[in-house]
Amino acid sequence: MTTYSPAVQRVPFNVVDEAIHLLNSEAEPWSVHVEVRVEASLEEDRLRSAVARALDRHPMARARKTATERRAEHRFYWEITPEAELDPLGVIDCPNDHALAAARVDLQSLRVPLAESPPLRMRLARHPQGDVVMLNVNHAASDAFGAVRLLRSVARAYAGEEDPVPDIDPLRARSLRGLAGTDDAPTKVRRAALLAEKVRDLAFPPARIAADEGSPRPGYGFHHVSFDRDRTKALVDLQLPGTVNDVLLAALNLAIAAWNREHRVTTNRIGVMVPINMRPNQWREEIVGNLLLPVRVSTDRGDRGSLRSLLAAIVRQTRRIKEGGTAAALMEVLGRSPALPLGAKEATSPLLRLSGARLLDTALLSNLARLDDPPNFGPQAGDTVEVWFSAPARMPLGLSIGVVTVAGRMHLVFRYRHPLFGPDAARRFAERYDSALDLFLSM
């Protein structure tokens, strides 16, 4: 039950918050990465003030993990402080793209501590082709939709614009169980299917992407790809079954299979994790917090026999996910974690990382779709010309692709763990993915 005091609000972690917190580590930080580039430059003091006002606007942006929990308790709690306890913004000069890439790696490879609020860090990167605002949010506190919403508040405060929020309690809205729906017949069917998947994974884990140029370094690397308006429009206008996201998923399956074939690695079942947004349509891009649930879309070698059979297999699964029952079933499965005392949960988290490796999918693809209202810092800053985002990808999964479309251009981030890829290998994998998309564009 949520409790309130004049100074600090105390709210429980939801099931996603807790799972992420227990699996977070220094080597593989669960950082949500979002960045925005403007045409011109931003004023440091003005931006710092805008960040402070944005944090005031969103309670979870001021959250810290409570330090007073009793070890016998069964839940972690957030404390929502009246104001942020530290300034999250740093400024860095990036005279070229190499320096910008290094700044990105440094920021996103940081596990943001939760002992003080806010649970995030930001950088203003000075660049000759336009300043870049970078954001790293500890994923235990918010998902990518929430991170983009926070940046939108920063931009509006900087531009001196109104920043309306929906008439809902943003802390109570984090109740995933309430959003997931009821335990009806479709839910029971999907729950049984999900549990069967987990049992199967223990015996037959999903395929792994072949490592190339890997190194034992902690943290992440990033490879950015931007499609021009013509290519983006061609993908959106495809007259094929399913959605653009289904095509993106199908292309990823093809790219993984081709990559592994080149590396002489057998590829049987490929499982791609796809986060689904639990926010209702009327506030789809609102609320800072974790309101995404992970689902799997998988294919076997038979499905990948032709482009049409592959796409059909994916469309069948994504339609079933949308039909209902999946979210509530996921909540049931996630909610069945043992009610251990907190001390025991934290002590066993290394075991969770090891045993959970067999349950991890082959890769992750997350698509924020088209942002009709990207963060806009006002006329002095110029247009927002780029928006990039990505989700973490711990080994042995090791690769996540974040997709967002802004101003008619699709932006893709290939985010990888260093044990999986080196920079050149990541570039070559992205080229395989691009070639796979070409196959669907030529159908």
Mean pLDDT for back-to-back runs of 10 residues, the chain (443 residues) = 56 84 87 96 97 96 79 75 95 97 96 93 97 96 94 97 86 65 58 59 79 92 97 94 95 98 94 87 85 88 95 92 62 50 43 48 93 91 94 92 95 97 97 97 90
Residue 73: per-residue pLDDT: 59
Residue 176: per-residue pLDDT: 60
Tell me, what DSSP letter sits at residue 221?
E
Amino acid residing at 297: V
Number of Cβ atoms within 10 Å of the Cβ of 263: 13
Which DSSP helix (H) or strand (E) runs through 333? helix 326-334
**130-165 residue pLDDT tens:** 999 999 999 999 999 999 999 999 999 999 999 988
Cis before 118 (ω within 30): yes
Amino acid residing at 434: D
The torsion region of residue 374 among left (phi > 0), alpha (psi -120 to 50) and beta comes to beta
Q: CA 361: distance to chain centroid? A: 15
Q: What is the 3-state secondary structure (H, E, C) of 263-280?
A: CCCCCCCEEEEEEEECCC
Residue 299: per-residue pLDDT: 94
What pTM, to 2 d.p., does this model score? 0.88
**357-385 residue pLDDT tens:** 555 789 999 999 898 889 999 999 999 99
CA atoms of 206 and 360, how far apart (whole Å):
7
Residue 342: per-residue pLDDT: 46
Residue 199: per-residue pLDDT: 55
Residue 83: per-residue pLDDT: 92
**Helix 229-236 to helix 244-262 angle, to the nearest 10 degrees?**
110
Q: Structure tokens of 164? A: 């309306």
Sheet arrangement for strand 384-390: 89-93, 120-126, 132-138, 31-38, 384-390
List domains and CATH numbers for the chain.
9-159 (3.30.559.10), 179-441 (3.30.559.30)
Residue 355: per-residue pLDDT: 40
Residue 406: per-residue pLDDT: 93
Place of tokens 């049984």: 192
